[in-house]
């Protein structure tokens, strides 16, 4: 099955195993779940060690025929971009399962919760690794289902509303994407005579300008909802507020990244011309999202909602970084995805812990907790500062690179004769950078209202500091935030080649598409011989 | 030359980490040994580097230490690297030496605080960050320190966190600093964009080359905007107009913190940064003028506010803002080594003043209200002695340290040639007034400084009567040795520190100016002004200093005197306005903070709740719901409804079936143009496709069809090029229905 197959499917097997254990054996469910997640993490470390940073293309590929008549292949592969997103997933799932608060305060059906988290993990890893658009779509939808249940069953008071809003929003986008995938499939047949959903082949298909626009819209809408890009973000605060802690951590930590990963992996390379034409609009929306999300976070009294809106702001940086279309900006975007997983994951764990202790998320219900929970307060401070983007912690590196990339966006594109597509880079960068002020305002404001001030609410006197497994959870997150801030290079080194190759090939294909905007679907650049054989025949 | 510079910041960082992880369970002495030991070690390494290794290093480069690559992505590469030259070395000495003294002092001052280990952990963290700031070889590494000291400042201002006021003050400091940091970041990005590097030596080289940074941008040059944005960062960190508002509030922190962070070291980071980037600033006299003017105005403005403050530390806070203004006026007039010189002397006398404030407040049971003090000269003799020396130093009384440094700034402002278009080709004609105007404002500020500092001295120490309650009076005592010791060392520095920067030129021994001698390879030759001018300013500033002191004596000598009362009675509203700090805080609250909050709240409800969730999401859901309920109503089981739907359906099909062709999706014609010849095909397929239809083609839309018949296609040759409208009428003879298609054609 290959290393990647194991990484993908191990959690699913674990989930199946857990579902066989009787309902009442909760500690076995927890133990088995954690064990599965840790084993998956270890296997993913093998993947990491087997990864060759010097190569740009996909590695460790698994490629076997699945539904031969339709040319569908079970094709997985990892490059420098998906590598780290998979690592983020396999890292966050065990940490979340270790946290006693993951399931939320409706502490029921531990078996099903643990299984749902593991199925979710398979869906996410599969979607990151899939190199066949059909397989990608299957995994993409697969992760929707457990998350729907996680919100709907273990969520808060308005869990049904939030779960349905989440599903409908996501489905609207993904169904259009499915149509576009099928269109690509048909056009590939028209151009080559072969049938294939294979990414490596479809990414050589060059569509005429108008068709690119429709398909790009379909893909981009699906991904924009997932990110979420302003103004498609309103499902996010609801989903986060209602989801149990574990759901929020994974939703923000990993699932939102499918939006930005999808833009980077599919929407831009498959439709280069349309992407370039839409780039100014999306970049402007990203900048609006950065400021807008931050301002919204600033006025929330609900800690979870505050963190949710901060995600809108932070993910805006990722989108902006991708659209700079230069290696610095995209490296920053990739790094920001990981850093956001750590910092926002940590914030949700922290807020979840307080909710578990106090059954409240309202900031006005807290105050002066430092005296009661010094260790937790110190951990949360590091995570808050990482999210604020303090240099030396993980949040800085990504934002810094994205902003550098934004400022230099036009300069790098000048020689290629493509200047002007990125509107006013200095202005955009400058506006985006104002979030350094606003993020300090809302996050330190939140921190102050939780930890500082007099301990004047009697309910807060009994709040206990972190202990046992909780110490491990926060210790791990804090360590990750510090290490990623001080030593980003091991990560950046491994994604460098893939990002550079992405930029080079995108530029090449964009220039080709600009030369021939009205040529019917054709193959560019020519398919390598080995890949050309991969297509199935009806 | 390489040198293990990383040890200098690493030791305090290690101290901080150890104290954070284990300090909570340790005895106070152990905590102190770790904390003070870490900073003492760092101090020794810094002295070794500065006095032993640095003189042996090559002139421009200094000592260098590359730890490794920090961030490399795309074309950007930032090393975690440190560099010590005379400028950063001098700052390292100040930070580690005064830092060490303040660690010792704090062991006495914080003796009874339950959070003793946390305090020292923060202090160590601060020292480490500050050392990274000055030693960083690139702007991003400098920015680690820049933000790190901001964080420590935040943590230490809010150290006594149970009071919301303290926490608010910490947050205000951090956020105001972040406004500046935005400027710093943008300046950094501009420099990177145009020089391709973030390493300070490379930027300096590029700036000295000129070209890249002299490109036009937004009506000025790149250098101007980069320098200006960096200076915005400096106004935040160094509390200059208009971002100074956080520093007075920062006095909420423990006093040793005020001395170390908010007087001697952190707040001078902006001055250091401007001096560090002097090559960029020298390209743009316009930006330097802004630096100098902002500095001078801040110096005067803060001094005026200092006249009316009644809190010991608040007076010192405004005094710090004012003195920082002097330093900026120095570097802004191109007198970089004078700015750094004042930074050095100020570190001693201001740290001394703050620690005296701590000692006095310690004696007064924690109160810093100077209206209840008085006559403390005899009760806290050591503290008084130190304060006395530092007071003379800050007033600029001859031969005390402040005299030399302040004088070289004021003299430089009058003598600068940076703004003189005749000498400096980069300067515009309209800048010539800047140097002299700055000089005049600085002289007024110097007078003000002497006045408010003397007011403070007289109200606290002079007279025979202490105005406090008997209970407080009873407890007044001199501070323990751990606090007095560092005070005395600082007083020695405040008294003699000026001699490192003697105006050697004046005495025909330029080499006597040790400071300028060391800084010359980094900052270039010191400014030279004529002997007559120099002597003139010296005499003038002595007169100003003595005048300020004398005036204050008239008002406050031995306590509040008649003129002070009369003045306060004559202009009560003005005095109140000054005491309320011109209500700038309230103005910011009214103009910025409240509107931002209100707008954000408004947007949240209007855009997120009503527009997006209400209209868009809710509207879509409503449409789906509506369609659903109509469909449900239609299939409600009522036979008549079914019949009605059935009838409508039949009618619709009949209508479509009788149309000669659909014009439903498009009424475009298939047109082929070939020169003046046009072929038109009106066959579009239809439900009635196999019926015979009558076509009439009107190629020029004049109402007279050119071609008629049952063929769906037609051919026409236009007489001359132009744009024509083709109108095709299609008739179905069996049903009598018809439809029309039109299309524009262009023939050439």
Q: Is the pLDDT of residue B612 over 50?
A: yes
* Proportion of chain A above pLDDT 70, given as a percent: 96
Residue B193: closest C-alpha in chain A: A408
* CB < 8 Å to A329, chain B: 74
Instruction: Report which of B169, B275, B291 is spatially closest to residue B232, judged by C-alpha positions.
Output: B291
pLDDT in tens, A182-206: 999 998 888 888 888 999 888 888 8
pLDDT at A426: 85
DSSP letter assigned to residue B195? H
End-to-end CA distance of chain B: 77
Does the beta-carbon distance from B140 to A391 stay under 8 Å?
yes
* CB < 8 Å to B174, chain A: 440, 444
By residue count, chain A amounts to: 538
pLDDT in tens, B316-361: 999 999 999 999 999 999 888 889 999 999 999 999 999 999 888 8
**CB-nearest partner of B186 from A327, A430, A496:** A430
Q: What is the mean pLDDT of residues B102-109?
A: 89
pLDDT in tens, B363-413: 888 788 888 887 788 888 888 889 999 999 998 888 888 888 888 888 888
Instruction: Report which of B121, B107, B130, B122 is spatially closest to residue B42, judged by C-alpha positions.
Output: B130
pLDDT at B689: 54
**CB-nearest partner of A327 from B74, B175, B611:** B74
Instruction: Report which of A78, A72, A75 is spatially closest to residue A188, judged by C-alpha positions.
Output: A72
Residue B142: closest C-alpha in chain A: A391
Residue A500: closest C-alpha in chain B: B74
Instruction: Report which of A175, A208, A177, A178 is spatially closest to residue A190, judged by C-alpha positions.
Output: A208
Kindly report the CA angle at A300 between A295 and A306, in degrees rounded to 5?
80
Domain range annotation of chain B: 284-560, 666-747
Does the beta-carbon distance from B189 to A403 stay under 8 Å?
yes
Q: What is the mean pLDDT of residues B560-564?
A: 79
Q: Is the pLDDT of residue A124 over 90?
A: yes
3-state helix, strand, coil in chain A (%, to 5): 75, 5, 20
pLDDT in tens, A446-501: 999 999 988 888 888 888 888 888 999 999 999 999 999 999 999 999 999 999 99
* CB < 8 Å to B228, chain A: none
* CB < 8 Å to A310, chain B: none
**CB-nearest partner of B608 from A296, A445, A492:** A296
Does the beta-carbon distance from A441 to B168 stay under 8 Å?
no
* CB < 8 Å to A53, chain B: none
Q: Which residue has the tokens 């210790």?
A: A475
Question: Which residue, among B9, B10, B69, B74, would best test binding to A if mutated, counting the most A CBs under 10 Å from its CB?
Answer: B74
Domain B666-747 belongs in CATH node 3.40.47.10 = no
pLDDT at A538: 37
Q: Is the pLDDT of residue A421 over 70?
A: no
Residue A370: closest C-alpha in chain B: B161
Does the beta-carbon distance from B163 to A331 stay under 8 Å?
no
B293 CA: distance to closest CA in chain A (Å) = 26
**Four-CA torsion B541, B545, B550, B551, nearest 10 degrees:** 90
B320 CA: distance to closest CA in chain A (Å) = 25
A435 CA: distance to closest CA in chain B (Å) = 9
Q: Crossing angle, helix B86-109 and helix B336-363, to 10 degrees? A: 0
Q: Are B400 and B498 in contact (CB under 8 A)?
A: yes
Which secondary-structure segment (H or E) carries A279?
A: helix A272-298
Does the beta-carbon distance from A452 to B604 stay under 8 Å?
no
pLDDT in tens, B352-363: 999 999 888 888
Residue A489: closest C-alpha in chain B: B71
Q: Helix count (H) and strand count (E) of chain A? A: 23, 4
Q: Is the pLDDT of residue A402 over 50?
A: yes
Q: Are B728 and B705 in contact (CB under 8 A)?
A: no
Instruction: Report which of A448, A358, A400, A434 is spatially closest to residue A105, judged by C-alpha positions.
Output: A358
End-to-end CA distance of chain A: 26
Confidence of residue B141 (pLDDT cuts 50, 70, 90): very high
Does the beta-carbon distance from B171 to A445 stay under 8 Å?
yes
Residue A388: closest C-alpha in chain B: B178
* CB < 8 Å to A328, chain B: 73-76
Does the beta-carbon distance from A327 to B601 stay under 8 Å?
no
* Proportion of chain B above pLDDT 90, given as a percent: 26
Does the beta-carbon distance from A390 to B604 stay under 8 Å?
no
Q: What are all long-range contacts of B569-575, with beta carbons under 8 Å and residues at least 24 apart?
A: B575/B308
Does the beta-carbon distance from B144 to A332 stay under 8 Å?
no
Strands, DSSP E only, in A217-343? none
pLDDT at B479: 79
Q: Is the pLDDT of residue A415 over 60?
A: no
Which secondary-structure segment (H or E) carries A61?
A: strand A59-67
B589 CA: distance to closest CA in chain A (Å) = 14
Beta-carbon contacts below 8 Å between A and B: 144
CA-to-CA distance for A220 and A526, rounded, in angstroms? 26
Instruction: Report which of A249, A262, A161, A250 is spatially closest to residue A219, judged by C-alpha positions.
Output: A262
Does the beta-carbon distance from B69 to A489 stay under 8 Å?
yes
Q: Which two tokens stand for residue A194?
A: 């072969």
Instruction: Report which of B220, B238, B221 is spatially closest to residue B184, judged by C-alpha positions.
Output: B238
B743 CA: distance to closest CA in chain A (Å) = 22
Q: Is the pLDDT of residue A336 over 60?
A: yes
Q: Which two tokens stand for residue A155?
A: 């969520």
pLDDT in tens, B272-303: 999 999 989 988 888 999 999 999 999 999 99
Does the beta-carbon distance from B189 to A407 stay under 8 Å?
yes
Q: Which residue has the tokens 């520095």?
A: B493
Q: Is the pLDDT of residue A333 over 90?
A: yes
Q: Are B692 and B669 in contact (CB under 8 A)?
A: no
Q: Which two tokens stand for residue A244?
A: 């149990």
* CB < 8 Å to B603, chain A: 292, 295-296
Q: Name residues whose C-beta falls within 8 Å of residue B383's C-beta, 6 or more positions apart in sequence.
A: B356, B359, B360, B363, B376, B478, B479, B484, B487
Does the beta-carbon distance from B167 to A453 stay under 8 Å?
yes
* CB < 8 Å to B125, chain A: none
pLDDT averaged over every residue in chain B: 85
Q: Is B219 left (phi over 0), alpha (psi -120 to 50) or beta?
A: left
Q: Crossing angle, helix B86-109 and helix B269-276, to 10 degrees? A: 170
Q: Which residue has the tokens 């021994």?
A: B509
CA-to-CA distance for B664 and B687, rounded, in angstroms? 12
Q: Is the pLDDT of residue B663 over 60?
A: no
Residue A291: closest C-alpha in chain B: B600
Q: Name residues whose C-beta falls within 8 Å of residue B723's C-beta, 6 or more positions apart in sequence.
A: B744, B745, B746, B747
b/e per residue B237-259 (b: at least 16 CB within 10 A): bbbbbebbbbbbbbbbbbbbbbb
pLDDT at A534: 46
* CB < 8 Å to B161, chain A: 368, 370, 451-453
Environment class of residue B651 by beta-carbon count within 10 Å: exposed (0-12), middle (13-18) or buried (19+)? exposed
* CB < 8 Å to A371, chain B: 162
CA-to-CA distance for A116 and A101, rounded, in angstroms? 16
**CB-nearest partner of B73 from A444, A451, A492:** A492
**Four-CA torsion A331, A336, A339, A340, nearest 10 degrees:** -160
Cis ω before B108 (30° cut-off from 0): no
Q: Is B290 left (phi over 0), alpha (psi -120 to 50) or beta?
A: alpha
pLDDT at A86: 95
Q: Does B114 touch chain A (CB under 8 A)?
A: no
CA-to-CA distance for A73 and A64, rounded, in angstroms? 6
Environment class of residue B271 by beta-carbon count within 10 Å: exposed (0-12), middle (13-18) or buried (19+)? buried
Higher pLDDT, A516 or A248: A248
Residue A378: closest C-alpha in chain B: B20
Quote the radius of gyration of chain A (alpha carbons, Å). 22
pLDDT at A532: 45
DSSP labels, B279-334? HHHHT-HHHHHHHHHHHHHHHHHHHHHHTT--BHHHHHHHHHHHHHHHHHHHHHTT
Residue B195: closest C-alpha in chain A: A408
Question: Which residue, among A237, A238, A299, A499, would best test binding to B if mutated, counting the most B CBs under 10 Å from its CB?
Answer: A299
Does the beta-carbon distance from B154 to A444 stay under 8 Å?
yes
pLDDT in tens, B144-170: 999 999 999 999 998 988 888 888 898
């Amino acid at each position: 099955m290959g290393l990647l197959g194991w990484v993908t499917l191990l959690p699913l097997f674990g989930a199946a195993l857990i579902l066989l254990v009787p309902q009442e054996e909760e500690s076995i469910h927890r133990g088995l779940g954690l064990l599965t997640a840790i084993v998956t993490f270890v296997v993913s470390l093998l993947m990491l060690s087997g990864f060759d940073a010097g190569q740009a293309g996909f590695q460790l590929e698994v490629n076997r025929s699945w539904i031969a008549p339709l040319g569908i292949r079970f094709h997985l592969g990892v490059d420098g971009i998906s590598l780290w997103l998979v690592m983020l997933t396999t890292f966050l799932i065990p940490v979340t399962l270790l946290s006693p608060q993951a399931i939320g305060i409706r502490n029921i059906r531990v078996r099903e919760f643990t299984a749902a988290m593991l199925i979710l993990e398979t869906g996410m890893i599969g979607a990151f690794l899939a190199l066949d658009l059909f397989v990608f779509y299957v995994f993409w939808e697969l992760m929707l289902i457990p998350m729907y249940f996680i919100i709907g069953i273990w969520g808060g008071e308005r869990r049904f509303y939030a779960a349905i809003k989440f599903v409908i929003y996501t489905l609207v986008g993904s169904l259009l994407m499915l149509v576009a995938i099928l269109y690509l499939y048909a056009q590939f047949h028209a151009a080559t005579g072969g049938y294939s959903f294979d990414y490596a082949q479809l990414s050589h298909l060059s569509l005429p300008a108008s068709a690119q626009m429709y398909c790009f819209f379909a893909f981009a809408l699906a991904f924009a909802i997932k990110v979420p890009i302003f103004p498609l973000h309103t499902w996010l605060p609801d989903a986060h507020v209602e989801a149990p802690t574990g759901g929020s951590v994974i939703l923000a930590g990993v699932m939102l990244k499918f939006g930005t990963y999808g833009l980077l992996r599919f929407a831009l390379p498959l439709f280069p011309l349309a992407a370039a034409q839409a780039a100014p609009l999306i970049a402007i929306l990203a900048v609006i999202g950065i400021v807008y999300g931050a301002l919204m976070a600033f006025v929330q009294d609900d800690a979870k909602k505050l963190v949710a809106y901060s995600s809108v702001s932070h993910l805006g940086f990722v989108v902006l970084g991708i659209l700079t279309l230069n290696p610095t900006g995209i490296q920053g975007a990739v790094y920001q995805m990981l850093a956001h997983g750590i910092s926002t994951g940590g914030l949700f764990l922290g807020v979840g812990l307080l909710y578990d202790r106090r059954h409240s998320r309202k900031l006005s219900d807290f105050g002066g907790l430092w005296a009661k929970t010094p260790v937790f307060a110190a951990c949360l401070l590091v995570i808050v500062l990482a999210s604020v983007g303090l240099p030396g912690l993980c949040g800085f590196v990504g934002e810094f690179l994205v902003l550098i990339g934004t400022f230099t966006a036009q300069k790098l594109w000048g020689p290629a004769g493509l200047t002007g597509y990125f509107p006013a880079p200095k202005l955009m960068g400058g506006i985006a950078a104002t979030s350094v002020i606003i993020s300090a305002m809302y996050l330190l404001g939140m921190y102050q209202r939780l930890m500082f001030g007099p301990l004047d609410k009697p309910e807060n006197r009994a709040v206990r500091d972190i202990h046992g497994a909780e110490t491990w959870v926060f210790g791990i997150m804090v360590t990750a935030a510090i290490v990623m801030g001080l030593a980003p290079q091991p990560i950046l080194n491994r994604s460098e080649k893939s990002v550079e190759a992405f930029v080079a090939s995108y530029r090449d294909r964009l220039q080709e598409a600009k030369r021939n905007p009205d040529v019917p679907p054709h193959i560019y650049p020519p398919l390598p011989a080995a890949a050309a054989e991969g297509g199935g025949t009806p | 030359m390489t040198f293990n510079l990383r040890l200098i910041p690493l030791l305090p960082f290690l101290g901080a980490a150890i104290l954070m992880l284990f300090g909570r369970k340790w005895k106070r002495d152990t905590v102190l040994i770790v904390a003070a030991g870490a900073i003492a070690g760092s101090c020794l390494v810094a002295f070794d580097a500065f006095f032993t290794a640095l003189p042996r290093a090559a002139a421009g480069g200094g000592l260098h230490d590359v730890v490794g690559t920090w961030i490399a992505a795309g074309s950007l590469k930032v090393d975690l690297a440190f560099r010590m030259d005379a400028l950063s070395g001098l700052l390292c000495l100040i930070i580690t030496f005064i830092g060490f003294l303040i660690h010792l002092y704090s062991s006495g001052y914080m003796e009874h605080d339950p959070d003793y280990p946390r305090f020292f952990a923060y202090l160590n963290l601060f020292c480490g960050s500050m050392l990274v700031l000055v030693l960083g070889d690139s702007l991003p590494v400098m920015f680690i320190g820049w933000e790190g000291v901001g964080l420590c400042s935040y943590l230490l201002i809010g150290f006594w966190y149970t009071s919301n006021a303290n926490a608010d003050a910490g947050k205000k400091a951090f956020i105001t600093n972040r406004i500046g940091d935005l400027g710093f970041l943008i300046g950094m990005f501009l420099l990177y964009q145009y020089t391709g590097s973030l390493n300070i030596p490379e930027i300096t080289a590029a700036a000295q080359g000129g070209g890249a940074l002299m490109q036009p941008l937004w009506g000025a040059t790149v250098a101007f905007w980069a320098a200006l944005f960096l200076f915005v960062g400096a106004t935040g960190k160094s509390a200059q107009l208009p971002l100074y508002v956080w520093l007075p509030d920062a006095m909420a922190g423990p006093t040793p913190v005020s001395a170390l962070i908010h007087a001697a070291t952190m707040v001078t980071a902006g001055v250091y940064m401007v001096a560090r980037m002097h090559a960029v600033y020298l390209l743009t006299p316009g930006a330097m003028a802004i630096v100098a003017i902002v500095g001078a105005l801040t110096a005067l403005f803060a001094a005026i506010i200092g006249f009316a403050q009644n809190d010991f530390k608040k007076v010192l806070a405004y005094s710090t803002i004012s003195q920082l203004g002097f330093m900026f006026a120095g570097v802004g007039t191109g007198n970089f080594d004078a700015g750094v010189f004042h930074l050095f002397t100020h570190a001693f006398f201001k740290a001394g003043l703050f620690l005296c404030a701590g000692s006095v407040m310690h004696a007064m049971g924690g109160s810093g209200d100077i209206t209840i003090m008085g006559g403390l000269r005899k009760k806290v003799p050591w503290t008084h002695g130190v304060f006395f020396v530092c007071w003379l130093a800050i007033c600029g009384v001859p031969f005390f340290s402040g005299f030399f440094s302040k004088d070289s700034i004021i003299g430089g402002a009058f003598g600068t040639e940076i703004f003189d278009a005749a000498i400096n080709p980069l300067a515009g004609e309209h800048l010539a007034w800047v140097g002299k105007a700055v000089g005049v404002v600085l002289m007024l500020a110097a007078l003000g400084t002497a006045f408010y500092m003397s007011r403070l001295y007289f109200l606290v120490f002079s007279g025979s009567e202490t105005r406090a309650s008997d209970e407080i009076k009873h407890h007044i005592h001199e501070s323990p040795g751990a606090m007095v010791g560092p005070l005395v060392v600082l007083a020695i520095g405040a008294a003699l520190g000026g001699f490192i920067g003697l105006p050697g030129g004046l005495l025909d021994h330029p080499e006597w100016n040790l400071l300028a001698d060391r800084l010359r390879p980094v900052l270039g030759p010191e400014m030279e002004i004529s002997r007559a001018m120099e002597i003139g300013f010296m005499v003038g500033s002595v007169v100003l200093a003595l005048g300020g002191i004398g005036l204050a004596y008239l008002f406050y000598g031995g306590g509040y005197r008649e003129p002070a009362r009369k003045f306060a009675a004559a202009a009560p509203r003005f005095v109140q306005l000054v005491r309320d700090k011109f209500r700038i805080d309230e103005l910011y609250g009214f103009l910025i903070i409240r509107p931002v909050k209100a707008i954000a709240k408004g947007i949240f409800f209007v855009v997120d709740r009503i527009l997006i969730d209400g209209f868009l999401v809710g509207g879509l859901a409503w449409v789906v719901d509506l369609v659903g309920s109509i469909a449900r109503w239609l299939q409600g089981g009522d036979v008549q409804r079914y019949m009605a739907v059935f009838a409508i359906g039949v009618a619709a099909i009949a209508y479509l079936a009788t149309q000669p062709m659909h014009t439903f999706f498009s009424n475009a014609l298939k047109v082929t143009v070939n020169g003046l010849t046009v072929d038109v095909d009106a066959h579009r397929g239809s439900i009635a496709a196999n019926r015979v239809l009558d076509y009439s083609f009107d190629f020029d839309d004049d109402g007279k069809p050119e071609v008629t018949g049952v063929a769906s296609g037609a051919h026409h040759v236009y007489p001359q090029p132009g744009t024509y409208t083709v109108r095709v009428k299609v008739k179905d003879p069996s049903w009598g229905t018809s439809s029309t298609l039109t299309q524009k054609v262009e023939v050439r």
